[in-house]
Amino acid sequence: MKYHDGKDRCSWANPKNQIYIDYHDKEWGVPVYDDHKLFEMLILESFQAGLSWECVLNKREAFREAFDDFDVYKVSAYDEEKQAQLKENKGIIKNQRKISAAVSNATIFMKIQEQYGTFSEYLWKFTDHKIIHETGKTSSELSDQISKDLKKRGMKFVGTTIIYSYLQAVGVVESHEEGCFLHHKE
């Protein structure tokens, strides 16, 4: 479908939502190696479970404010009082299980950083630091493997579908549809 600027994009990019178009054009599928950004996207993807990505993306700025700009050290230290405040925050998704998971996942994220030097190194080692190009999937052997490992480490809301979406978001998996102006042709 052609958009107001004449470019064809992936079918999921809502042409009526500029935030979504900007995300599609500038972020989705772009390889990320920065741990801060990888943590942000992991938290946001976990809040997406059962919802649309557009819903989460529209609340992204409120999430950034509520979660101290996704500072992994601060998030890992959230106590029950801070978590209760988050549960009352009208700007974010107020799901207690997801809020609690964000806090415990932050601690596990830091343990992975300690083990591998960076979370980026941990994540990209699964593909030997190569980008996977594929479309039309919601999970794969790769997302199964990473999901299983993260669950074994104690992370929550990291099922294979969430992890596949995460891998697409951070560019480990490049999935721009054929016809999209960003589609990668090998």
Which residues, in sequence order, are CB contacts of 13 under 8 Å at separation 6+? 3, 20, 21, 24
116 is catalytic: no
Residue 119 CA to residue 4 CA, distance in Å, equals 38
Residue 15 CA to residue 12 CA, distance in Å, equals 9
61 is catalytic: no
Q: How many CB atoms lie within 10 A of CB 132?
A: 16
Q: pLDDT 10s per residue in the chain (186 long)?
A: 567 888 999 999 999 999 999 999 999 999 999 999 999 999 999 999 889 999 999 999 999 999 999 999 999 999 999 999 999 999 999 999 999 999 999 999 999 999 999 999 999 999 999 999 999 999 999 999 999 999 999 999 999 999 999 999 999 999 999 999 999 865
Q: pTM for the complete prediction?
A: 0.95
Q: What is the dihedral of CA 112, 113, 118, 119, to 10 degrees?
A: 40
Identify the active-site residue in 33, 53, 54, 177: 53
Q: What is the dihedral of CA 124, 140, 184, 122, to 10 degrees?
A: -10
Identify the active-site residue in 3, 23, 33, 116: 23
Nearest to 60 by CA among 35, 89, 40: 40
Identify the active-site residue in 28, 45, 124, 166: 45
The helix or strand, by DSSP H or E, that contains position 174, with its residue range, turns out to be: strand 173-174
3 state SS of 33: coil
166 is catalytic: no
